[in-house]
Each structure stands twice: as C-alpha cells, then as structure tokens.
C-alpha cells in the first residue's frame, strides 16, 4: 500500500533499470534500491532498450518512452519524460542536460522541484559536431539557470559552474562499492589465455577523449607488458580503426563489451594495474569502481582524475610518460597505491553515502 504522505520523485534521463548501460543507470539502480522505502519513486526508461516493459523494479514504478535514450533522440526522450512527470511528481531528478531546454517553460506553469545533475562537460567532447556542441553548452546554461538545485559530481566541475554561471552546486559523486573482487574461474581461464599472466586492464567507451590510442601506442612498444581493454570497438569508425591497427600485437587484447558483472569483475579485479585514460567528464564511475577494488591506478593527468583520486594515483600525460611509468613502477609502490585508492573510495564513494545526499535534496 502506497503511503500518500511520501514525496513522489521521478528520475529522468537514463536508459532505464535494471542498470546495464552506464553511470547514470547504476546511480538510478542504487537510489531506487536504497530510497524506495522513503520516497515514491518513478523511473523513466526506454522501451527500445527494455522491450519487456517490466512495471516495477527495486520498489520503483517504471514508465516507458518509445525512443532511444541516447544520441539525438535523447532530447525528445527527456522532454517527454519531464512533461509526463509533472502530472504526478513532487521532485524531478533530471540526469544530464539534453532535455533541459524545456525548463524555462516548465518553470512558467509548474512549481515542481527541479534537480539536475549536469554530468560532465559533454559539449567539450570531440565526437560532437559544431551544432551539437553549441546545443549541449546552451542546454547546460539553461539547466543551471532554471533548476532549483544543480548537482555536480566532481569539484572541478563545481568550480567551473561557479565561475561560468555564478551558481553554487551540490557536490555528489558516484558509489563504487557495488563491485567486488572475484576469483577467476577455471572456465574463464580456459577462454582467455592472458588470465594466466600479469596484465594491465582498462574498460571504457572507445572515444578519443578516453585516450585509447595513446595507451595502445605505449603497449605497442612494450612487448613484455600485456594490456586488456574492454570497449565498444565496433560502434564507431574510430574504434574499428584502432581494433584493425592493434589487434595483431600479441600483448594487446581488445575485447567487446561484457555486460555480465561477475565476468567483468573477474577480469578487472585480478589485473595488476588499472589504466584510466579518460580526459573528459567529471568523476568517472569506472575509475571509482577500480579504486574500490583496491587496484593500483595509472591515470591520465587531467584535473578531474587528480581530484577523484585526491592526487594520490600515478599520472601520465602522453605515451612516453605512460611507457616510463610502466617500466619503472615496482610491486611495492603498486601495492601501496592500491591500498590508498581503496581508503579514498571507502571514505567518499559508497552508495549509502551517495544516496543520503540525494535523499537530503529530495
């Protein structure tokens, strides 16, 4: 029986739950899991990605929009979700800025509370053309000016919003404690020969901002160092070209996406070194997860990554620096680095703490 005194919160802007796509979906998974007893939650989902249209999950009501949640369709997808939510929700949690161009109109006739997590600075990504970059920057500005609360996931982005728009934000990152160390099964070892060796690991979308080519260039001249990268190689010309150019190296393993969390954790948690090449966005969920797994981390030295790791990881700026780090770093330093990363994650990146911060906003 629904408690009519419970505040009604709609979560907008994700592909949907159960989570199987990215950081916003995992965030939504754990907000529903941990807050469903305190709020009446509704999550808008893409029926393109969830054709079965399950009605409830984690105690939340699921409503479906017949559009893709990403790409150009994300704009009408979010706008339709926002308008539907206005009929019943007290608070709208909007993840990302795609549909936020409609917020000035919403503010004209509605007093519903608008909370927007602006994500990273999406408009800076190389993959977008000129108009798309302009539109995303414009949507970001509209979101900041019209939301009641803006959430940023990294202090660097928090500082940017304050400087750019003279607006204070709530700093809320992501949790990483949904991942756990897994012992490698005999079946998996028989499938992947590198699991018998000492290997480095990276998981990401195959985009220029994630510096995949820089990392592959370093390993292409280090035949005794093994790298395993899991990503969506076939989703773009950029990814296909990288796969074609580097697949013949015996120490480089380029794998397609793995959506089975247990399998992914087996491969990830048993690497001896995690390499994080992301240069865009804010607090990257994959980095937080690696920290929680107590993995030693070599990260691209952009300020977002330094902030997330409290300047305690090891950093590189180019292929040569990465190569030198790989050759010079000893086991003792790596072990110490991994322990430090886990301590930071335990203090800052648990879902219980993250959900408490969102609960206070709601």
CATH (domain of 288): 3.40.50.2000
19 and 69 both lie in a single domain: yes
20 and 166 both lie in a single domain: yes
pLDDT in tens, 141-176: 999 999 999 999 999 999 999 999 999 999 999 999
127 and 210 both lie in a single domain: no
73 and 140 both lie in a single domain: yes
192 and 168 both lie in a single domain: no
Rounded to two decimals, what is the model's pTM?
A: 0.91
Q: Is the pLDDT of residue 68 over 60?
A: yes
Round the average pLDDT of the chain to a whole number and report it.
Answer: 93
pLDDT in tens, 220-247: 999 999 999 999 999 899 999 999 999 9
45 and 118 both lie in a single domain: yes
26 and 157 both lie in a single domain: yes
Complete DSSP assignment for 6-61 = SPEEEEESSS-SS--S-HHHHHHHHHHHHHTTTSEEEEEEETTT-TT--SEETTEE
112 and 251 both lie in a single domain: no
Q: Is the pLDDT of residue 67 over 50?
A: yes
Residue 317 DSSP code: S
Residue 183 DSSP code: P
What are the backbone angles phi and psi of residue 64, rounded to the nearest 5°?
-115, 140
Residue 1 in domain:
no
pLDDT in tens, 186-205: 999 999 989 999 999 999 98
131 and 220 both lie in a single domain: no
Q: How would you class 361 by CB atoms within 10 Å of its CB: exposed for 0-12, middle for 13-18, buried for 19 or more? A: middle
Range of the domain at 28: 8-172
Residue 362 in domain:
no
CA–CA distance, 103 with 97 (Å, rounded to integer)? 10
CA R_g for the chain: 21
Residue 314 in domain:
yes
Mean local confidence (pLDDT), 298-310: 96
Considering its fold, how many domains does the chain have in total?
2
CA–CA distance, 171 with 218 (Å, rounded to integer)? 35
Residue 208 in domain:
yes
Q: Is the pLDDT of residue 2 over 60?
A: no
């Amino acid at each position: 029986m629904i408690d009519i005194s419970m505040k009604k919160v709609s979560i907008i802007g994700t592909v949907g739950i159960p989570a199987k796509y990215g950081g916003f979906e995992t965030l939504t998974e754990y907000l529903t899991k941990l807050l469903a007893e305190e709020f009446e939650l509704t999550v808008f989902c893409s029926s393109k990605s969830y054709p079965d249209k399950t009605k409830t999950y984690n105690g939340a009501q699921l409503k479906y929009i017949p559009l893709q949640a990403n790409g150009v369709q994300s704009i009408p997808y979010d706008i339709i979700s926002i308008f539907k939510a206005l009929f019943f929700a007290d608070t709208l949690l909007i993840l990302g800025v795609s549909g936020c161009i409609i917020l000035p109109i919403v503010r004209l006739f509605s007093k519903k509370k608008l909370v927007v997590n602006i994500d990273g600075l999406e408009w800076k990504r190389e993959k977008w053309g000129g108009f798309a970059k302009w539109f995303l920057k414009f949507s970001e500005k509209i979101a900041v000016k019209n939301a009641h609360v803006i959430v940023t996931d990294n202090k660097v982005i928090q500082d940017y919003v304050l400087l750019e728009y003279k607006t204070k934000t709530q700093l809320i990152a992501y949790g990483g404690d949904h991942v756990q160390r897994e012992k490698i099964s005999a079946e998996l070892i028989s499938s992947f020969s590198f699991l018998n060796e000492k290997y480095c690991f990276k998981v990401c979308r195959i985009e220029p901002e994630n510096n995949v080519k820089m990392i592959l260039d370093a390993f292409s001249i280090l035949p005794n160092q093994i790298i395993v990268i899991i990503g969506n190689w076939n989703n773009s010309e950029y990814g296909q070209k990288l796969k074609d150019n580097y697949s013949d190296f015996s120490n480089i393993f380029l794998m397609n996406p793995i959506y089975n969390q247990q399998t992914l954790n087996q491969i990830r948690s048993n690497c001896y070194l995690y390499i994080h090449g992301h240069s865009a966005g804010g607090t990257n969920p994959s980095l937080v997860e690696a920290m929680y797994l107590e993995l030693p981390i070599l990260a691209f030295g952009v300020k977002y990554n330094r902030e997330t790791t409290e300047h305690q990881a090891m950093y590189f700026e180019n292929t040569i620096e990465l190569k030198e780090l790989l050759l010079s770093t000893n086991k003792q330093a790596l072990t110490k680095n991994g322990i430090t990363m886990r301590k930071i994650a335990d203090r800052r990146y648990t879902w219980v703490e993250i959900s408490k911060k969102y609960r206070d906003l709601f």
